[in-house]
Structure 1
Amino acid sequence: MASRPYRNSPTNPAIGEIQTNPARVADMPYAPAIRIEAPKGLLIVSGATPSPLYHKHPHDWSEHNHPNDIREQTRLAMQTIGSVLEDQDLTWTDVIKVSKYLTDMREIELVSLTIKEFVADWSPASTTLCVNSLSTPGARIEIEVMAALRG
């Protein structure tokens, strides 16, 4: 029988954070795993870059004026994701998985600190990949999340 989660989401008791070594939790900016008990469903949020959520296709490059600072790019992407979560009556503590795509892996620490501004002490499962380029010139990060629906 599986043991109980390390802790449950304060907004969604069906989500449990798994920490196999709780004494080392302070060393982890993410959960090794997230357990969902009898979920109602999942919200899969498309990747967000520093670009506005709604923009023209084909791209009008004037809509994609990205700041150079990776922290600001991360904040813009997280604000976009936050608006989708809010639209669905969810919060950051309903997020179970964060995937980050960076063009420079040396910026991972700054990205992680910036994401913490949004998720606070909640630790979703996480994956980080380094990619050659993203959808618009100057974009250095793309973030996608999965969230568990409540109930």
Structure 2
Amino acid sequence: MMEMIYTETAPKAIGPYSQAMKVNDFLFLSGQIPVNPVTNEVVEHDIIQQTNQVMKNIKAILESEGLTLENIIKTTIFIKDMSQFPIINEEYSKYFNEHKPARSTVEVSALPKNVLIEIEAIAYMGQ
């Protein structure tokens, strides 16, 4: 069973995709970029602010399905500059405490809307 997920509390998709797809006990979140869902604009060009906005967007999608960050089992982080990895890591870690999802981090040459970071996630909805 598959279901497209949409919430007003996260940025609208900027292309032909959904914010997330629910498949059985899993929620697959599309890559989130640092767009404020209220203004629909990219937040300031600063890696700390952009990382935090992305995490807020992920959290909003999860919450729309009654989930928390604790349900995330895997993330993939796409960044434009690997030298910013320590800063990103510090901000990212503030959201996970003892829960440590599996993760990959990849440096890319460009991201949508010229942002500095994009994060996608997979969450488990079962007990």
TM-score normalized by the length of structure 2: 0.75
Q: Which residue of 1 aligns with 2:122?
A: 146
Number of residue pairs the alignment of both structures matches: 104
**Alignment partner of 1:78 is 2:77:** no
1:42-53 map, 5 Å: 42-53=26-37
Deviation at 1:145, TM superposition (A): 0.5
Q: Which residue of 2 aligns with 1:100?
A: 77
Deviation at 1:92, TM superposition (A): 1.1
Give the secondary-structure state (helix, strand or coil) at the position aligned to 2:34.
coil
The gaps in structure 1 that reach 5 residues or longer are 1-39, 56-62
1:53-92 map, 5 Å: 53=37, 63-92=40-69
Q: Which residue of 2 aligns with 1:18?
A: none
Deviation at 1:53, TM superposition (A): 4.6
Please tell me whether the aligned partners of residues 102 and 131 of structure 1 are also in contact (alpha carbons under 8 angstroms): yes
Aligned-residue Cα RMSD (Å) equals 1.7
* 1:75-132 alpha-carbon deviations (Å, 9 max, x no partner): 0000000000111111111100010000000111111111111112211000000011
Give the secondary-structure state (helix, strand or coil) at the position aligned to 2:111.
coil
Q: What is the letter of the counterpart of residue 108 of structure 2?
A: V
Q: Which residue of 2 aligns with 1:13?
A: none
Give the secondary-structure state (helix, strand or coil) at the position aligned to 2:76.
strand
Please tell me whether the aligned partners of residues 70 and 141 of structure 1 are also in contact (alpha carbons under 8 angstroms): yes
The gaps in structure 2 that reach 5 residues or longer are 1-23
Larger CA Rg, structure 1 vs 2: 1
Q: Which residue of 1 aligns with 2:113?
A: 136
Q: What is the letter of the counterpart of residue 132 of structure 1?
A: S
Q: What is the letter of the counterpart of residue 143 of structure 1?
A: I
Give the secondary-structure state (helix, strand or coil) at the position aligned to 2:119.
strand
Please tell me whether the aligned partners of residues 36 and 42 of structure 2 are also in contact (alpha carbons under 8 angstroms): no
Q: Distance in 1 between matches of 2:83 and 2:31?
A: 21
**Alignment partner of 1:122 is 2:99:** yes
Please tell me whether the aligned partners of residues 64 and 136 of structure 1 are also in contact (alpha carbons under 8 angstroms): no
